[in-house]
Amino acid sequence: MEWAPRTVVTTSLQMTSPAQLQPAGPAPDGVRFERVDAPTPEFVRWLYAAVGGPWTWTDCIRWTRDQWVSDLALPGTEIWVAYADGAPAGYVHLGASTDGDPHAVEIKYFGLLEHAIGRGIGGALLTHAVRRAWELPADHGLPPARRVWLHTCSLDGPAALPNYRARGFVDFAEVSKEEVVPVEPLGTWVSTGGPV
């Protein structure tokens, strides 16, 4: 696999009130959102790889199992999976903010598997994630949330940023930096451990 430097643009967005949410329509028939009560590193890594493989998500692919265990043990961590017709279709990873703000909840990872794109699931899942993010601190003994935030970058799918803005998120920062990334996305098969 060939890697090369590339300019990556990262956009950070936030909501500072639950009233900012612009809900999408309901999830399509046959789709449900389910919290993973005891998330394992193996399952969450698979979700990350399955969603991110087509879009050059590689940071966490190289994590050790211990790094995944530590990440999943962070305060307020919740993993929600969208299922369509019984199979995983996407996921969201929520938790206390990693930017040092005790009154923030972060949507750390969010996305759909390739087969679920364009089916009306993404807007509904993000709506669910935002509502849950505002509720999360009370259920985990964390300080009340004053904002919910996330970031996306030019390595994500083309629908990511428009979906965030359509749900009411507002840009608050943009950073460009050079990173070494795969010239071509790994793809879901390779990212999830399939042989090349």
Are the CB atoms for 185 and 114 separated by under 8 Å?
no
How far is 173 from 50, CA to CA, in rounded Å? Answer: 28
pLDDT for 151-170, tens place per residue?
Answer: 999 999 999 999 999 999 99
How far is 46 from 72, CA to CA, in rounded Å? Answer: 14
What the block records as the tokens of 196 is: 């090349």
Provide the residue count of the chain: 196
Q: Are strands 31-35 and 3-15 parallel, antiparallel or unpaired?
A: unpaired
Which domains, and CATH codes, for the chain? 3-183 (3.40.630.30)
Residue 102: pLDDT band by 50, 70, 90 thresholds? very high
Task: Give residue 61's pLDDT.
Answer: 87
> Which residue from 195, 186, 160, 196 is spatially nearest to 62, judged by alpha carbons?
186
